[in-house]
Structure 1
Amino acid sequence: MLLCRVSAVSHALARWGRRSHLGGGLLHRALSFSSGRCHGVGSGESSAQPSETGSAQGLYRDTVLLPRTEFPMKLTGQKLLDRELEIQKCGFADLYSWQRERKAKKEFCLHDGPPYANGDPHVGHALNKILKDICNRFEMLRGRQVHYIPGWDCHGLPIELKALGELGTSGLSPLQIRQKAREFAEGAIARQKAAFQRWGVMADWDQCYYTFDGVYEAAQLKVFQEMHSKGLIYQDYKPIFWSPSSRTALAEAELEYNPEHVSRAIYATFPLVRLPPKIASEKDLESVSVLVWTTQPWTIPANEAVCYMPNAQYSVVKRADNSQLTYRHAAVFSVSYQLQTEPCKCPVFYLQGSELEGGICKHPTIPDKEVPLLPANHVTMAKGTGMVHTAPAHGMDDYSVASQFKLPVECMVDEDGKFNDLAGPELQSLPVMREGTDKVISMLRDCGALVKEEPCVHSYPYDWRTKQPVVIRPSKQWFINTESLKDKAKEALQKVRVLPESAKGSLLVMLDRRTYWCISRQRSWVHTLTFFKDISDTHTHTNVLLDVLLNSDCWWELPIETLLPPEVLKQVTGPVTDYIRGEDVLDIWFDSGASWAAVLEESDSRADAYVEGKDQIGGWFQSSLLTSIAVRNKAPYKSLVVHGFAVSEKGEKMSKSLGNVVDPDTIINGGKDPSMPAYGADVLRWWVAESNIFSEVQIGPTALNSARDSISKLRNTLKFLLGNLHGFDPLTQAVDPKEMHYIDQYMLHQLREYSIKVTDAYSEFDAGRVIRVLQAFISRDLSSFYFSIIKDRLYCDPEDSLGRRSCQTVLEEVLDGVIRSIAPILPHLAEEVYLHAPGHDKGETLFKSGWIKSSSVWRRPGLEEAVEGACAIRDSFLSSIPGKNAAQYDLTIAIEPGLLFELMESLQEEPSSTSSQLAELMMAARVNLTSELPRDLPPDAILNHGTFLINLEGGVIREDSAYNIAVVPTSASRCPRCRRYTAESADCMCPRCQAVVSQAH
């Protein structure tokens, strides 16, 4: 036999896709279950039907071994919900603590990014938490000790505002505000935690982390202290994003950009009162002004310079009134068109940007004020005029110019977003974004500096919570010098595995853009920046007080002399009241970004994975990286998984006003609307797993019904497997793979390949691929192929026969492999099936019994080639009789002597057989195996031919073997018991069935 000679096999299963018609639809077309018994066996042509009472078949129904199981085909409504809750109570309650106590060679740490404790759980939470749980359950099943501490981000303005509600802040002390906010956060945490548990998320729910907890705050303050001691944290007066609607500074991660914001853009002139020395001798240059364009006219009063690009070309263009404008040469005609003016036939003068050096302009709205022309690399030549109005107090790039050239940085805007007294009496108290803008434009028009005003739709930063525009204004704040950390952070990030890969580029871009990080805020409900200001000598003292502060409320409660460090108290010569308690609080991104210090274990202190939404690219991913690099010079994570957002079925952002919000509680427990039945937690989990998480994830009735239907089909398959394992004990009745039928051995080989693919997909955080591999395996390899072939052997062979026990052994391995492979995604269904499965003690849980158990023994040399060769021939056979029942035909296979013939001989040693493994695989009445087709074939014989490429020993043995087939209707009668066409007459059982029935009696 070739199977004994060949030592290696290598052949791609290229023909699998053509097998959907192979006796197919066994599960979904022909099985019906009632009273724990399966009736029907497949395509309607094999095995006796018990419903045919009074017929010949009815005489033998008790001798047919039909599937039996108490596992329900369907579980819906309250029964489904009760079953899930029962499984959670019995199987999941102690799972996390159990796996933490067991011995394991490796640990897997998934650090939970803290969800915000400001409301009820939503589908975004479900997407994130279930993804993490799928990952954790897989790692636990394959033997790793999972470290997963759920956490909550408890601080911040949204919680503060919601907690106060209609009370407002009037008359409330910081401590009272903090108490109200804490109570609100605790209520939100309780609701979210209950939801996460109901979704089946595995964790020790009594040991979570909270950013308002004293231990957490102490760890965070330690990070602050270390960064401050390294000079990375400092106080400074510089422009920051300021939210007038929140009255606080904002970090860039707290902004959202409105692409439809409308600004009142203007073209304005700054008259040159002193020409640049390099062009002062030009006679034609009279009444020259530089032309600027800005979308923020309110910043004009704060102007301190006009910037140009040194290596760019500029032109001086004469207007109709003979005045002359200077702006970028490339925009001569486009600007003229915008201004609806006709330039001269040619510009008056061309010049290089560097020739503008030394020029002085008159400020358009402030009499007697002059501003210089200055070079700057941030000037863009892609839009505008190439001459940039520069207000150092109200622009990041503007501030850089001011720092370089020692320009004043005077803030003309207060914390409410209104002009202050420095702006002058005409502007004072006017909101800069509304009436203030109106007034500035009016002032420019009155002095003749306004050339044109136009609406400009562009992207503009908004406060991500209040949804109101922000302004840039200088303020004395605490900053982190990220410029000194960026290179190390980027180097560390290169060693981090990021999925999808494109997200790494976004992270690097955001790091490049961030030169400093404002970490102070002007609210009450965040961790307090514990520092004092000595008003007598203006020195600032940073005081971490790890030994004193049990929580940051102490900063507001205790007297100053208790909080001041002993070394400072010794130096106090005047009253303690010379020290002012700082009232700034920490940015919530620093607050949560230091979570690695409080949660990760000291042994490695790097998480294997962070799994969060794409909004965290500029948020938690980055703040965690920067703080960890600053303190430990390494990233806090080895892998980043960046997923998209949950959106409606139309791809819209979910909004109550649009009525498209999908509540996960309603998904699980059902809603008042009949269109929203109780789906249970596993449908929610399947939706998460099946989705392409790296894009926007759509959810709605269509997606949920699809998930429910997919699980229903899976239950059907599992019920079939359980039903055919009735009475089978794998511990005592399993057949050694070497003694199995080749098709059974082949299925073990396929199961091993399936387990490898599934394991790889989980390892790549790709649950969607797991589902695709699962569905292909069930529909292609099992339902349409293997189940169709073995049903006769299962139902009609003797109960204890080697052939029947052989396929039962495979079915038990398949059942075990499938339920373990789906367990991370569908833990409730997996545990339910495991309770009905044979081979383990009652009460044992699947999640404590390990991952898929496959064996290298299942891959036998030559096995794949033998079955694949037979399948190629079967494809030719079935394509010859489209739509017909293969069991009604005799098949003759003619193969010239060689490897393919020897492979087929391993499946059928005798020349002709109705019961060989080859006949079973072909599902024909009889198979004749010969070296050439007989010459006396009947006229109605159907002929076909084909080839099969044998590729053995890594290509050392290659043979393209030809075969011919002849198909003729069988002359045999249908057996009244097994319904195969192998009987001598219609009222007589076939020899196999006669033997089985006689043994039974």
Structure 2
Amino acid sequence: MRWGLRRRASGAAALSAAGSWWGPPRFPGHPGWLGTARRLAGRSVAGVDNQLSSPNSGRYRDTVLLPQTSFPMKLLGRQQPDMELEIQQKCEFAELYSWQRKRKVKTEFCLHDGPPYANGDPHVGHALNKILKDIANRYHVMRGSKVHFVPGWDCHGLPIETKVLSELGGRAQNLSAMEIREKARSFAKAAIEKQKAAFARWGVMADWNNCYYTFDGKYEAKQLRIFYQMYDQGLVYRSYKPVFWSPSSRTALAEAELEYNPQHVSQSVYIKFPLLKPPPKLASLTDGSSPVSILVWTTQPWTVPANQAVCYMPEAEYAVVKCCTSGDRYILAADKVASVASTLETTFEVTSTFSGVDLEGGSCGHPLVPDKASPLLPATHVTMAKGTGLVHTAPAHGMEDYSVASQHSLPMDCLVDEGGFFTSAAGPELQSKAVLEEGTDVVIKMLQTAENLLKEEKVTHSYPYDWRTKKPVVIRACKQWFVNIADIKTTAKELLKTVKFIPGAALNSMIDMLDRRPYWCISRQRAWGVPIPVFHHKTEDEYLINSETVEHIAKLVEQHGSDVWWTLPPEQLLPKEVLSQVGGPDSLEYVPGQDILDIWFDSGTSWSSVLPGTDQRADLYLEGKDQLGGWFQSSLLTSVAARKKAPFKTVIVHGFTLGEKGEKMSKSLGNVVNPDVVINGGQDQNKEPPYGADVLRWWVAESNVFAEVTVGPSALGAARDDINKLRNTLRFLLGNVTGFNPETDSVSVKNMYVIDQYMLHLLQDFATKVTDAYKQYDFGKVVRLLKAFYTRELSSFYFSIIKDRLYCENESDSKRRSCQTALVEILDVLVRSFAPILPHLAEEVFQHIPYIKEPKSVFRTGWINISSIWKKPGLEEAVESACAMRDSFLGSIPGKNPTEYEVIIVIEPGLLFEIMEMLQAEETSSTSQLNELMMASQSTLLAQEPRERTADGIELTGTFLINLEGGDIREESSYKVIVIPATKEKCPRCWKHTAESSDTLCPRCAEVVGGK
């Protein structure tokens, strides 16, 4: 035993057992730190792969144990999609969901599927969403939870109805409500079948025979009961209010059904409202001077005929100005004087200023109706951002305007019909003219004639459009059904704070959207949907709804579907006891209402039909960011209204899919990515090769899904390349565990090679981090950890070191078995770690594991299994210190074969020497653990400089800091690496320069071959 080992007994004992008492290095900068020591990861070692993977030339080729596996390195052309279909059949993908539901396990994981819309082909946005959900579900199945996941479809609504009607063209005008409903249902069913087949092909785990559909009678009946529950609590009411109205769809829309066009062009006008009655505090304004007018700006001139008031900001400062061009006097905000004068191409002289509150009690003349007065009223919605600081107020055409009118009892007459045309109440000049087109032009001409128009100009600004017809909407007052959000908003916001949002910023976004929402209009004037279960009086403005009528309708709907509202006579829609009270069957005073429920109410009540148990809360909702104002919100509001709790515990919000350069996908740009083409290839398979579903899944997992997600040929090609590299790693693992039986051939950890123990140490760290990333739904991190592990730790580092031991040692030698023991564990952990992301590849690998005779599905065999005894931080000191010297050696012979050299390592006596001695007990060896790490022909370990030097040697020096037991043991040692050309001949079997002559075997190979 050398001097260093005698220094402390505890150190010697620990070293001999590769003791775990060694602490990991404290300073990432020191030469042995994990990342530095394996710089080799990016460096190819010339000759090693060729030499050791093909020593089968010559008479010893049959004695070399090369990898043996039928697992293919690559699947070319149609092989990938064909293999996936075969795997889905063989490994019973279709039965996995029902199998895991039957398990007797304690934990349950519920992911509630937000319904995709049943109105089109499956697209790449669907792929992003469904694959993310499936990765989460498969992980939880492997962790031993019983997963509850019921796929669903949103089947009603305007977009489906619009598509059906547009396909029918002119014939659509003569269709009855039932004919529209029948055609819409057929359309939705066809879309569902297309989407369902695609989701299953992507490997999404579900019971596809038991999904939920919002047009199912039982689903509709539950929805009607929740509607009545909310009505009974006073949360649902009917009122005359301004709503977003789509003239192109002839129905009211909710905020979530709008999209804002930032390039919309409006005709904006500056108009004057002559002051009729000056405010008492400003009576002197009209004393003997020229008349004064209130100056107003609006981008919606068509609303001017409906004006009822002009609003001001009480705390702002206002000015009376004299126009230097015309001499006219105007009132406007003091802050806006300069900008408005500039726009009007004139100058204003300020004659006096006053506070906004001083306008109280005044009124001005209507600019189109001279004998009509419009009062001046204070309002909180007036801002100084644009315009004049004075706002024209038309209560029938603005939410804030309506609020002001309610406070001051102003008229709220609507002058616009369902098609967006002026009614007769607007006067003969405007009647039947489209308000957003010719109607606007006529109003501007009328203002000009009345000499109240100061300027007209086009303005480009953001404006709400109908999200389906892509045409502008208007705000118009009409009688609709509303949910009183104000009464539940506070509770909803408090409950949201108990929900985990990923990313965290999504919580604030959702709260902001709730705050901005004044009310929720839930009625629609269409045929394809769930009827609002209300009867309207034939002659009076009153309606009939109570618990008996709604329960009667709900039972009918449960049995026959909501078509009964249109197919049964009205007297059958009412229970007998109610019918007798309202005129009986012959003289019934009420008729069924024609409004249907907003589809956000449809889908928002899905928790009541789908979520399991009495608690009916999902562990996870996972949808795109548009659902913060859509399904997430309608689910929350209905759940809070009905039972005062949120329907979700965690909400994950992902971005939208975009083209490769971050642009929107469109057919005209030719950048639309069709998932079916990704999987099966396009017409020209050179340009659009068949990638299979796993490439699509890898792309989803790898993407930063919390931002916008880009996809295109280069992203898909990169995903395929990554998977092919992973396949190569798996092929090496499979090929080198052939002939190994883990039950009988495994080597105990304490008896394994240090490098093998070290890999198990790294494997445990990898497994822990991967598991934690899955727990956090950070699938991008899983992919990053995977890629780093299989490219750096395995392919570039470990595999390059162990090939000689695997290929050239005796098959049952404990050295080789030690390595195979590690490979078996690595293979098992690796396959399970990517199985939720690449289920087809994971199952394919399982079919090729040689020691599993009857492979089950990897998903039926549990999650990663690691052992605490693998964790040995002290091993890092042993391996990293050797790797620091190996780095020096390999760096000195770039591009050359390391087996053509011998290495002499000189270390002063001390702890570093003890560590190296653990790897090589004898002075010189060609088969030691130290020499294996060096990859040289032989290594010599010395405590002092060699007496003789060769002229052609390369001398390299360095230091290594040993830092153990939390810093209690710290020792910096210097070392010297002397590199000299090998002095022996190349062995014809292992190709290391360790033979006495070129036609004789080296001692190690002679022993192995002799034994055979």
- Could you tell me the TM-score, scaled by structure 1's length? 0.95
1:777-821, CA deviations, whole angstroms, 9 ceiling, x for partnerless residues? 011100111001100000000000001011111111111111111
Identity %: 60
Give the structure 2 partner of residue 69 of structure 1: 69
Segment of structure 1 superposing worse, 256-265 or 969-978: 969-978
* Structure 1 contact 48–979 (Cα < 8 Å) conserved: no
- Check if 1:962 corresponds to 2:964: no
Q: What is the CA distance between 1:47 and its match in structure 2?
A: 6.3
Distance 1:354 1:101 in 2: 72
Give the match's secondary structure for 1:22: helix
Distance 1:696 1:384 in 2: 35
Distance 2:614 2:911 in 1: 58
* Structure 1 contact 896–932 (Cα < 8 Å) conserved: yes
Distance 2:119 2:427 in 1: 42
* Structure 1 contact 19–780 (Cα < 8 Å) conserved: no
- Check if 1:708 corresponds to 2:728: no
Segment of structure 1 superposing worse, 498-507 or 134-143: 498-507
Give the structure 2 partner of residue 559 of structure 1: 569
Distance 2:509 2:968 in 1: 48
1:218-243, CA deviations, whole angstroms, 9 ceiling, x for partnerless residues? 22122212111111111000000000
Give the structure 2 partner of residue 323 of structure 1: 328
Give the structure 2 partner of residue 607 of structure 1: 618
Q: What is the CA distance between 1:775 and its match in structure 2?
A: 0.9
Letter in 1 for 2:684: D
- Structure 2 stretches of 5 or more lacking a match? 1-11
Give the match's secondary structure for 1:184: helix
Segment of structure 1 superposing worse, 199-208 or 647-656: 647-656
Distance 1:48 1:86 in 2: 33
Give the structure 1 partner of residue 4 of structure 2: none
Distance 1:356 1:937 in 2: 104
Give the structure 1 partner of residue 78 of structure 2: 78
Give the structure 2 partner of residue 306 of structure 1: 310
Segment of structure 1 superposing worse, 941-950 or 509-518: 941-950
Distance 2:151 2:986 in 1: 64
Q: Paired residue for 1:49, among 55, 58, 63?
A: 55
Letter in 2 for 1:310: P
Which residues in structure 2 correspond to 1:422-433 (within 5 Å)?
422-433=425-436
Q: Paired residue for 1:10, among 19, 24, 44?
A: 24
Letter in 2 for 1:84: E
Q: Paired residue for 1:245, among 228, 244, 248?
A: 248
Give the match's secondary structure for 2:283: coil
Segment of structure 1 superposing worse, 836-845 or 240-249: 836-845
Distance 1:24 1:468 in 2: 56
Give the structure 1 partner of residue 127 of structure 2: 126
Give the structure 2 partner of residue 342 of structure 1: 347
Give the structure 1 partner of residue 829 of structure 2: 817
Distance 1:838 1:108 in 2: 34
- Check if 1:290 corresponds to 2:290: no
Residues 841 and 217 of structure 1: CA distance in aligned 2, closer, same or farther (over 3 Å): farther
Distance 2:448 2:751 in 1: 98
Distance 1:268 1:557 in 2: 53
1:232-264, CA deviations, whole angstroms, 9 ceiling, x for partnerless residues? 111000000000000000000000000000000
Q: What is the CA distance between 1:19 and its match in structure 2?
A: 6.1
Segment of structure 1 superposing worse, 601-610 or 512-521: 601-610
Segment of structure 1 superposing worse, 332-341 or 854-863: 854-863
Distance 2:502 2:960 in 1: 41
Distance 2:643 2:962 in 1: 57
1:654-701, CA deviations, whole angstroms, 9 ceiling, x for partnerless residues? 222333222211111111123112211111111211222122222222
* Structure 1 contact 240–250 (Cα < 8 Å) conserved: yes
Give the match's secondary structure for 2:218: helix
Segment of structure 1 superposing worse, 671-680 or 876-885: 876-885
* Structure 1 contact 16–780 (Cα < 8 Å) conserved: no
Distance 2:999 2:970 in 1: 49
Give the structure 2 partner of residue 637 of structure 1: 648
Distance 1:24 1:273 in 2: 84
Which residues in structure 2 correspond to 1:686-725 (within 5 Å)?
686-725=698-737
Q: Paired residue for 2:477, among 474, 495, 506?
A: 474
Distance 2:698 2:818 in 1: 33
Give the structure 2 partner of residue 597 of structure 1: 608
Letter in 2 for 1:313: E
Q: What is the CA distance between 1:494 and its match in structure 2?
A: 1.3
Give the structure 2 partner of residue 332 of structure 1: 337
1:21-66, CA deviations, whole angstroms, 9 ceiling, x for partnerless residues? 638778xx99xxxxxxxxxx9433446522x3xxxxx121111101
Distance 2:300 2:22 in 1: 74
Distance 2:594 2:998 in 1: 97
* Structure 1 contact 687–703 (Cα < 8 Å) conserved: yes
Give the structure 1 partner of residue 953 of structure 2: 941
Give the structure 1 partner of residue 638 of structure 2: 627
Segment of structure 1 superposing worse, 228-237 or 650-659: 650-659
* Structure 2 contact 846–855 (Cα < 8 Å) conserved: no
Give the structure 2 partner of residue 90 of structure 1: 90
Q: What is the CA distance between 1:9 and its match in structure 2?
A: 2.6
* Structure 2 contact 363–373 (Cα < 8 Å) conserved: yes
Give the structure 2 partner of residue 400 of structure 1: 403
- Check if 1:586 corresponds to 2:597: yes
Give the structure 2 partner of residue 547 of structure 1: 555
- Structure 1 stretches of 5 or more lacking a match? 31-40, 53-57
Distance 1:75 1:442 in 2: 72
Give the match's secondary structure for 1:419: coil
Distance 2:739 2:217 in 1: 58
Give the structure 2 partner of residue 872 of structure 1: 884
Distance 1:839 1:918 in 2: 31
Q: Paired residue for 1:232, among 232, 235, 253?
A: 235
Q: What is the CA distance between 1:997 and its match in structure 2?
A: 0.7
* Structure 1 contact 24–43 (Cα < 8 Å) conserved: no
Distance 2:489 2:966 in 1: 49
1:962-984, CA deviations, whole angstroms, 9 ceiling, x for partnerless residues? 33322222322221111112222
Q: What is the CA distance between 1:943 and its match in structure 2?
A: 2.5
Segment of structure 1 superposing worse, 561-570 or 831-840: 561-570
Which residues in structure 2 correspond to 1:865-904 (within 5 Å)?
865-904=877-916
Residues 418 and 731 of structure 1: CA distance in aligned 2, closer, same or farther (over 3 Å): same
Q: What is the CA distance between 1:712 and its match in structure 2?
A: 1.5
Segment of structure 1 superposing worse, 71-80 or 797-806: 71-80
Give the structure 1 partner of residue 670 of structure 2: 659
Segment of structure 1 superposing worse, 894-903 or 68-77: 894-903
Give the match's secondary structure for 1:929: strand
Give the match's secondary structure for 2:40: coil
Aligned length: 980
Letter in 1 for 2:516: R
Letter in 1 for 2:291: S
Letter in 1 for 2:114: G
- Could you tell me the TM-score, scaled by structure 2's length? 0.94
Distance 1:211 1:392 in 2: 36
Q: What is the CA distance between 1:497 and its match in structure 2?
A: 1.5
Segment of structure 1 superposing worse, 717-726 or 557-566: 557-566
1:939-972, CA deviations, whole angstroms, 9 ceiling, x for partnerless residues? 4332223233333333443334333322222322
Residues 161 and 904 of structure 1: CA distance in aligned 2, closer, same or farther (over 3 Å): same
Segment of structure 1 superposing worse, 942-951 or 261-270: 942-951
Distance 1:6 1:761 in 2: 26
Segment of structure 1 superposing worse, 638-647 or 195-204: 638-647
* Structure 2 contact 153–214 (Cα < 8 Å) conserved: yes
Distance 1:416 1:962 in 2: 88
- Check if 1:523 corresponds to 2:526: yes
Q: What is the CA distance between 1:6 and its match in structure 2?
A: 5.1
1:286-308, CA deviations, whole angstroms, 9 ceiling, x for partnerless residues? 41111111110000011111111
Residues 335 and 538 of structure 1: CA distance in aligned 2, closer, same or farther (over 3 Å): closer
Residues 537 and 258 of structure 1: CA distance in aligned 2, closer, same or farther (over 3 Å): closer
Which residues in structure 2 correspond to 1:123-202 (within 5 Å)?
123-164=124-165, 165-166=167-168, 168-202=171-205
- Check if 1:434 corresponds to 2:437: yes
Give the structure 2 partner of residue 905 of structure 1: 917
CA RMSD in angstroms comes to: 1.9
